[in-house]
Each structure stands twice: as structure tokens, then as C-alpha cells.
A = this chain, B = another copy of it.
Amino acid sequence: MQLLKDKIKTEGIVLSNNVLKVDSFLNHQMDPVLMMEMGKEFARRFQDKKITKVLTIESSGIAPGLMAALELNVPLVFARKQKSLTLTDNLFVEKVHSFTKQVTNDVTVSRKFLTAEDHVLVIDDFLANGEAAFGLARICEQAGATVAGVGIVIEKSFQPGRSKLVEAGYRVESLARIASLDNGQAQFVE
């Protein structure tokens, strides 16, 4: 998606050869018009999939997830992250490890909001190792729901998340695919 790539080029800050900071338009300050355009693009790419629900994870997935849900005219559900849970009644729970933050969280969704009839579009802001996307997909599977696809804002294509998801049979659509962050520059997959 050209608008997003342009934004990454002009406002993204490459902190190291695997960290890209996009807090001016994606995960701290947000550009609502860009979010809306991304929502439209996700809806376009998954328009044949009979999506009934969008599922994402707090916090940075909420904005792109909401815009995709608006365009698809379905509800958004966002999973919550917690350190460790004592009460898990009526919840789907999966452990998700964050390599960036070096923590493992319990990720939860109320059993009320996913059913075996759902065709779910999983949305997240970043794809690196695929931990969050797999966690959300496993929650869908616990519910007996169909994972209709995985939509990602920024994919770090030099990390293994995408290939692991594709190998597991998921359709992955990323709005920007980054081939490398070497030499302080984001290079996109052609």
C-alpha cells in the first residue's frame, strides 16, 4: 500500500536492523485518515471471505482493526493482554510471548464473542515472529471459528512470522512488507 510505504519512508525511524519505530502515525500518535485507508484496503483484500468478525489485540491493533471492521460492516473484538489470570471463567485464553518486550502474556477473549459460525479476520499492527497472530488464531480455533485470514499493517519479512503462518495454512495480507532495515533504511519487498 503506497500511502503507508510513503509514511514509513518519511516518518519511520529505524532504530536498529530489526526495530522500526512508527509511533508518529501508527502506535502512539495515529493518523486517522491513514487508518481509514488501511481499513478499506484490508476490506478490499478479504472481500471474498465472508468475514463475520474482526479480531485484534490491544492496544495498537485496535485502530486498524476498527477501520477494517467498519468497512466490512462487522463487529470488532479486541483481545486483552494480562500478566497472569486467576479467573478464566467464560474466557478463551492463550499464552503469547513478546520477543520485543521479553514477556509472556495471557491473551483473552470472552466466549460470548466468538462462535463456530464466525469467519474471522485477524488484524495486527506488526508481524515479526508471528506470536500474536498465532495466539489469536488459536483462540479462533478454540471457539471452532474459521480463520479467514491474517491482515498485518507492517510485516518484517526478514523475520519468520509470515512463513510460519503461511505454512500453517493461513492467508496473510500485509500492507507494507519490509525486506530489510539494514544501514538505517527501510527497504520494501518488491
Q: Which of A30, A80, A110 has the most chain B CB within a 10 Å cutoff?
A: A30
* A16-42 to B contact mask, C-beta < 8 Å, 1/0: 000000011000111111011000000
Give chain A's interface secondary structure class: mixed
A62-B59, A66-B66 known; A80+B113 contact, CB < 8 A: no
Q: Are A59 and B31 in contact (CB under 8 A)?
A: no
Say which one of A68-76, A92-100, A128-136, A145-153 lies at the interface with B.
A68-76
Q: Are A32 and B69 in contact (CB under 8 A)?
A: yes
How many Å from the CB of A87 to the closest CB on chain B? 13
* A154-175 to B contact mask, C-beta < 8 Å, 1/0: 0000000000000000000000
How far is A141 from B67 in the complex, measured between Cα atoms in Å? 31
Q: Are A69 and B110 in contact (CB under 8 A)?
A: no
Contact partners of A29 in chain B: CB under 8 A: 75-77, 110, 112-113
How far is A63 from B62 in the complex, measured between Cα atoms in Å? 7
A78 at the B interface (CB under 8 A):
yes
- Give 21 pairs: A residue, B residue, CB < 8 Å, sorted on A: A23-B110, A24-B113, A28-B77, A28-B80, A29-B77, A30-B66, A30-B69, A30-B75, A30-B78, A31-B75, A32-B67, A32-B69, A32-B70, A32-B76, A33-B70, A35-B70, A36-B70, A59-B62, A62-B66, A63-B66, A66-B67
